[in-house]
Amino acid sequence: MKSFNYHAPKDVKDASKLASSSSAFLAGGMTTIPSMKLGLASYKDVIDIKNIKKLSGIKVSGKTVTVGATTKHVEVASSKEVQKAIPALAKLAGNIGDAQVRNRGTIGGSISNNDPSACYPSACMALNAVIHTNKRKIDAEKFFVGMFETALKNGELVEAIEFQIPEKADYQKHPNPASRYAIIGVFVAKHKKDVNVAVTGAKSCVYIDKDLSKKLSSSFSAAAIEGMEVKSSGMNSDMHASAEYRANLVSLYAKKAVEAC
Amino acid sequence: MTKVTLEVNGKKVSKEVPDHTLLSVFLRDNLNLTGTHVGCDTSQCGACVVHVNGKSIKSCSTLATDIDGSKVTTIEGLAKKGKLHPMQEAFKKTHGLQCGFCTPGMVMSAVDLLQTKKNPTESEIREWLEGNICRCTGYQNIVAAVKEAATKM
């Protein structure tokens, strides 16, 4: 790993001041550090944001659950409040990576990295999340721009993620057997007026399957989407799963998620 | 360079190291605690698992400076006064290892599991050990070891 200067500011303002085009914010480091070790990324300055107290913690209000950026997966998974308000979100967090990754990895890190196979982005999309940064609020659908790409600008830092509490929701993933990332993952959320089916792992970036969402909005049952074909065009194809296989999994796991709601 | 101060296996240590020093490197190269192994180096295999403030983490994906001031327990810190930890004893008794490379990480992960869950089911044990890979395919006896240790801890 190439050398860098490590900083651990105590507030967001200082973190923001340290940021440059050759810096990275560090939270759990579960992606950033392996990427640096593999030589996929190198930075002059690494700005650790874990000492900024206001970035951590979970708040549940009447209609929303707000999770601070440096809140660890294990904390979301074991939070009684999250388990009660959005059990699907706690379940999702409890199945990310492995126990040791969940002890370090954070929600802010996961969504800022926007790995095409990450679990959290699908929850953000399906639960109409609003991403709070140190500069503005961004709707999830505008936040996730492309493969490993978000709407975040240089020096912009995710502070918290505000999820809308749904009537019902569930997340189903088909994990890679070795690394546990989502070969595909489907987050189904039934809100008062409509249903969102968010898919991760299938394409270069998380997306809402509009056809499945529309069908389920008019009739929320597994039978309503039985036999619905999901098109494989634009889907990832690799040694782990072909595009056709992924398309089939999306349809299958959407049904599983609806049944589990 | 940053000064990193840790309590490792009950002993206070302080070293001046480059900022990018990983905890695994700090333990192995600076403290000569080579029981913590580095297998995959991409945070998948779990051979490098140690406890930081009582929780299991992968030391090959953690900066030493990031955990400055923490308490660290490595495999070397489990045995007390020459007596093996019940988990080590169980691995020995059930032959929960073959080549032994993954064993330190397996043991540290398993100890953390039993700290949070006293009597885990077989599937809970297997699920918990997802982050620890054994290439001798010795999982059967590893799971047996954790079950055995659960009756002693």
What is the maximum span of chain A, computed from C-alpha positions, in angstroms?
56
- The confidence score (pLDDT) of residue A225 equals 97
The upper half-sphere exposure of residue A166, i.e. CA atoms within 13 Å in the direction of its Cβ, equals 26
pLDDT at A179: 79
How many Cβ atoms sit within 10 Å of the Cβ of residue B134? 22
CB contact burial A226-244 (16+ within 10 A = b; e otherwise) = eeeebebeebbeeebbebe
Burial A117-146 (b: 16+ CB within 10 A, else e): bbbbbbbbbbbbbbbbbeeeebebeebbee
Set of chain A residues whose Cβ sits within 8 Å of the Cβ of B128:
99
Which of chain B's residues have a Cβ under 8 Å away from the Cβ of A34? 42-43, 61
Q: How many CA atoms lie within 13 A of A175 on its CB side?
A: 15
pTM of the model: 0.96
What pLDDT is stored for residue A54 in this prediction? 96
Dmax (CA) of chain B: 46
Q: Which candidate from A2, A100, A180 shows the least CB-CB separation from B56?
A: A100
Closest CA to B144 of B97, B108, B100: B97
Whose tokens are 């529309």? That residue is A214
Residue A182 has pLDDT above 90, yes or no: yes
Residues of B with Cβ-Cβ distance to A101 under 8 angstroms: 43, 58, 131
Residue A88 belongs to some domain of the structure: no
The CA distance from A188 to A204, in Å, is 19
Q: Give the Cα separation of A74 and A234 in Å (integer).
A: 33
The C-alpha atoms of residue A127 and residue A171 are separated, in whole angstroms, by 11
Question: Which chain B residue lies closest to A9 (C-alpha atoms)?
Answer: B66
Residue A118 CA, chain-centre distance (Å), reads 6
Helix, coil or strand: residue B112: helix
Please tell me the CATH code under which domain B86-152 is placed: 1.10.150.120
Structural domain contains residue A226 = yes
A217-247 per-position pLDDT tens digit: 999 999 999 989 999 999 999 999 999 999 9
Query: Which CATH number does B2-77 carry?
Result: 3.10.20.30
Q: Single out the residue of A180, A21, A18, A12 nearest to residue A105, CA to CA.
A: A180
Average of per-residue pLDDT values in chain A: 97
Enter the ipTM.
0.95
Helix, strand, coil shares, percent, chain A, to 5: 35, 25, 40
- Test B62 with A29 for CB contact under 8 angstroms: yes
Instruction: Count structural domains, chain A.
Output: 2
Domain that holds residue A16: 1-50
Nearest to A179 among B44, B112, B113 (CB): B44
Q: Do A3 and B20 touch (CB under 8 A)?
A: yes
Asked whether the predicted pLDDT for residue B137 surpasses 80, the reply is no
In a domain, A186, yes or no: yes
CATH number of the domain enclosing A202: 3.30.390.50
Q: What is the pLDDT of residue A128?
A: 98
Calculate mean pLDDT across residues A59-67: 96
Tell me if B18 and A101 make a contact (CB, 8 A cut-off): no
Which pLDDT score is estimated for A254? 98
- Please determine, for residue A82, whether its predicted confidence score (pLDDT) is greater than 90: yes
The residue extents of the domains of chain B are 2-77, 86-152
